[in-house]
Amino acid sequence: MGKETMNVELAVVGGGPAGLAVAAKAASYGVQVTVFDENERPGGQLFKQIHKFFGSKEHQAGIRGHDIGYSLLSQCEEFGVKTMLNTVVWGIEKNMLGIQNNGRTYTIKTKKTIIATGASENPLCFPGWTLSGVMGAGAAQTMMNVHRVQPGQKALMVGSGNVGLIVSYQLLLAGIKVAAIVEALPKIGGYMVHAAKIRRTGVPILTSATICEARGENEVEEAVIASIDEKGNVMEGTQRVLPVDLICIAVGLRPLAELCWMAGCKFMFLPVLGDHVPIHDENMRSTVKDIYVAGDVAGIEEASTAMEEGRLAGIAVAEELGYLGSEEADEKKNLARKRLESLRLGPFGDTRAEAKRKLTESEVNR
Amino acid sequence: MKDRLKSTPGAWVISREILEASPGYPSKEELKRKPVIVIECPEEIPCDPCETICPRGAIVVGEPITNLPRIDQDKCNACGLCIPICPGLAIFLVDNTYSEKEATVSFPYEYYPLPKEGDEVNAVNREGEIACKAKVLKVRDPKSHDHTSVITIVIPKEYSNQVRGIELQQKVDKNE
């Protein structure tokens, strides 16, 4: 079994919004970038985000996620970013990556590595949760918006954060009925405007409510839902049976940080950012030399912040590698930080901003 | 008979009071006098395409970007460019001057099939309940809207403050 070695100046692990933004940015200053992604197409979650993005003009607000994805891809192409798809990065140690592509193993020597591996959906366990038809809201979104397959005919959405609300809306757009959205907390988690557009179609949003059971022979045929008290206990007599063939779970995401753990990065436990998050400084640099993080792996937010973190990391890496003077780099990094800051304002962002400050101000960065 | 599932009261609802108190909502007098843009955006979220697209500077978000959009109804000529650009689909145009007894409501709509001009449809309120019958006056779906159509319907005037859409044109089972 021959082991081949390749040299890469900047390796980006993960070709989602953060990874592509890093790649396009760093390559635009002349860095030789290779993006590794285990999927057959690049873009991560961007190509299933068919809604118009929030934010300002500089965040590409009002443009649909997949169109932002196409423009990132064309920037990557323009600046000569190499992509290795269907490629799993299975190991990392200092400036070395172990990858597998098409059954072959390679060793990649890098000067800098960016880990932009994103997040995975949290599961929810209840009787019947392994039945066919119970899936993450993200999986339903992939089926509808990428593969153009209806994941069911009638759905129950569990969770009312922005993912739950947006995917419910997209289920309706795909011609799938939504029987209800249930939320364990007394209030919805996502934006009111997202809830409002779903409510205009009459879909009920039930708060202080949960799923008790999925029933069916081989696949979901029914969902049992019920009200819960403040302690989360099901209130007897409130159970309802909904005839659905699809149950979507949208109860949060957590960073896919295995490579960061493997590399020896230091972590901080920050529930508001999804779980244990790799500590990074203001340049998105982790606690391990030459390893940077960007996007959801560095704390669960959304695609706009992921792209801005990616740009910030891309500038920082270009500077470190000598492609950008420190004065010019500082100016550009500050602009990126300002754009990030603006996305973390308001009641939905300030707890994230606070958690991010804890990361960047952590002593272990010094 | 099965009772229908109802939303938990207060769970999501943008109450009329909250909306009418927000700076994007026109006054009663303005609603009577002329076609007006109605912005139903009562939460401080980082978003400002409505400000960017307005050619007359009538909508202001400013800094910080989480400010609620304010609208200067004297500068606004109700061109409606802000309706399809709003990522929250939260902007409407209400014209109570359409005729003596009728008003029009224009709203963003991304479902297919689209209704056709002249169709008789059911108009719905913010809760998705059928409020009244409506006639589709205009369906605008130019490329620049990027698949967010703007539909204008004619309804009896007394419903103009509550109608914000139409029943989906796809077949929906109403028994649940």
Establish if B80 belongs to a structural domain.
yes
Specify burial of residue A343 (Cβ count, 10 A radius: 0-12, 13-18, 19+).
buried
Tokens standing for A28?
């635009």
Q: Are A102 and A134 in the same domain?
A: no
Q: How many domains does chain A have?
A: 2
Q: Is the pLDDT of residue A49 over 90?
A: yes
**What range defines the domain where residue A36 resides?**
4-120+253-365
Which residue(s) pair with A189 in the sheet?
A: none
Q: Are A174 and A232 in the same domain?
A: yes
B172 touches chain A (CB under 8 A): yes
Looking at A209, A232, A249, which one is the last position of a domain?
A249
Looking at A249, A280, A307, which one is the last position of a domain?
A249
**What range defines the domain where residue B106 resides?**
29-166
Which chain B residues have a beta carbon less than 8 Å from that of A54? 45-47, 87-88
Condensed to tens digits (0 to 9), the pLDDT of residues A69-87 reads: 999 999 999 999 999 999 9
Q: Are A211 and A131 in contact (CB under 8 A)?
A: no
Which CATH number belongs to the domain containing residue B130 in this structure?
3.30.70
What is the ipTM, given to two decimal places?
Answer: 0.93
Establish if B106 belongs to a structural domain.
yes
Q: How far is B95 from chain A (nearest CA, A)?
A: 20
The predicted pLDDT at position A365 comes to 83
Which residue among B13, B128, B146 places its CB closest to the CB of A201?
A: B128
Q: Are A136 and A160 in contact (CB under 8 A)?
A: no
Give the residue from chain B lying closest to A304, CA to CA.
Answer: B46
Q: Are A225 and A264 in the same domain?
A: no
Condensed to tens digits (0 to 9), the pLDDT of residues B111-143 reads: 999 999 999 999 999 999 999 999 999 999 999
Tell me the residue ranges of DSSP E strands in A129-236.
Answer: 134-136, 154-158, 177-183, 205-207, 209-215, 222-227
Return the H-helix or E-strand segment holding A27.
helix A17-28
Which residue among A51, A61, A172 places its CB closest to the CB of B47?
A: A61
Q: How many domains does chain B have?
A: 1
Q: Are A154 and A84 in the same domain?
A: no
The predicted pLDDT at position B2 comes to 46
Q: Are A116 and A137 in the same domain?
A: no
Dump the DSSP string for A270-322: EGGGTEEEE-B-TT-BBSSTTEEE-GGGGS---HHHHHHHHHHHHHHHHHHTT
Establish if B23 belongs to a structural domain.
no
In this structure, chain A runs to a length of: 366
Q: Are A213 and A299 in the same domain?
A: no
Establish if B9 belongs to a structural domain.
no
Q: Are A268 and A298 in the same domain?
A: yes
* Pairwise CA distance, residues A255 & A232, whole Å: 26
Condensed to tens digits (0 to 9), the pLDDT of residues B62-120 reads: 999 999 999 999 999 999 999 999 999 999 999 999 999 999 999 999 999 999 999 99
Q: Is the pLDDT of residue A241 over 50?
A: yes
Which CATH number belongs to the domain containing residue A217 in this structure?
3.50.50.60
* Pairwise CA distance, residues A84 & A37, whole Å: 6
HSE-CB of A167 using CA atoms within 13 angstroms: 32
Q: Are A228 and A261 in the same domain?
A: no
Q: What is the side-by-side strand order in the sheet with A222-227?
A: A209-215, A222-227, A240-242
Establish if B172 belongs to a structural domain.
no
